[in-house]
Amino acid sequence: MSRRLLRASALLCCLVAAACGDGSGLLAVAGSSDAVTVRFVNATASALDLAVDGTVSTTNANITPGGGVACFTIDDPTVPGLSVRQAGTTTDLGGFTPLFSRGGRYTVVAFPGASGTVQFINVPNAAFIVSGRSALRVLNGSSGLGTVDVHATTPAATLGTPNVTGVGFGNASGTFDIPAGAVQVRLTNAGTTNVVFDAGTQSFEAGKSYTLVISSATAAILVPDC
């Protein structure tokens, strides 16, 4: 059995909303320092399979909407060997080109494209975290929202200056600083305080960074970085 297949058998499929990684830094990685750490998130409306070197292990099969595969390592980022399929099929979906930098950490997200096809994005997890606080980035995976500004506030606070502006569909914002604890995340039409999506109050742990996935197919998915 190849090293990559052994690695694939160890992947844990879990609900992404659960803290399946500590978000505080690179996981311990055996072998080359070139290895990358990856988490996969399914933000589409259909179950998906994640294949490694063409093989779908039982833990990578039937990843439900809103679920995912916990952090795992890829030894050689130049040949990651990953592909995604509709659950139970043998045909790889197009448009998935997982490009990784050596030693990096990523959240790979599948989400609904504007035309109904599945789109993918590789979101780098690099983040500077202020002591005693948290860090956040937001992925706009809902085509109906248009370009948005991101407001992360204490719950029910009046909206003021956004944390991030101009996040278009299919893009992730840069990482920004937030307080640890309960934070309400709302998206507005760019340049306004007109709320187009309320992700509700999310809980953030000090010293950790997160990606919040906004999709037209699922509830908001908060993912701790690997």
Q: What is the pTM of this model?
A: 0.85
| Residue in the block written with tokens 């659950």 | 87
Q: Is the dihedral of CA 13, 16, 20, 26 positive or negative?
A: positive
pLDDT greater than 80 at residue 136: yes
Amino acid at 131: S
What does the pLDDT look like over 177-223, one tens digit per residue?
Answer: 999 999 999 999 999 999 999 999 999 999 999 999 999 999 999 99
**Using CA atoms, how far apart are residues 22 and 72, in angstroms rounded to an integer?**
13
Q: Give the pLDDT of residue 32.
A: 54
Q: Which residues pair with 63 in a beta bridge?
A: 48
124 neighbors 133 (Cβ within 8 angstroms):
no
Helices (H), the chain: 3-9
Question: Among the listed ranges 9-18, 44-53, 67-76, 190-199, which one has the minimum average pLDDT value?
Answer: 9-18
Q: What is the pLDDT of residues 100-124, one digit of tens each?
A: 999 999 999 999 998 889 999 999 9
Cα separation, 225 vs 95, in Å, equals 24
- pLDDT score for 20: 40
Question: Of residues 103 and 17, which shows the higher confidence score?
Answer: 103
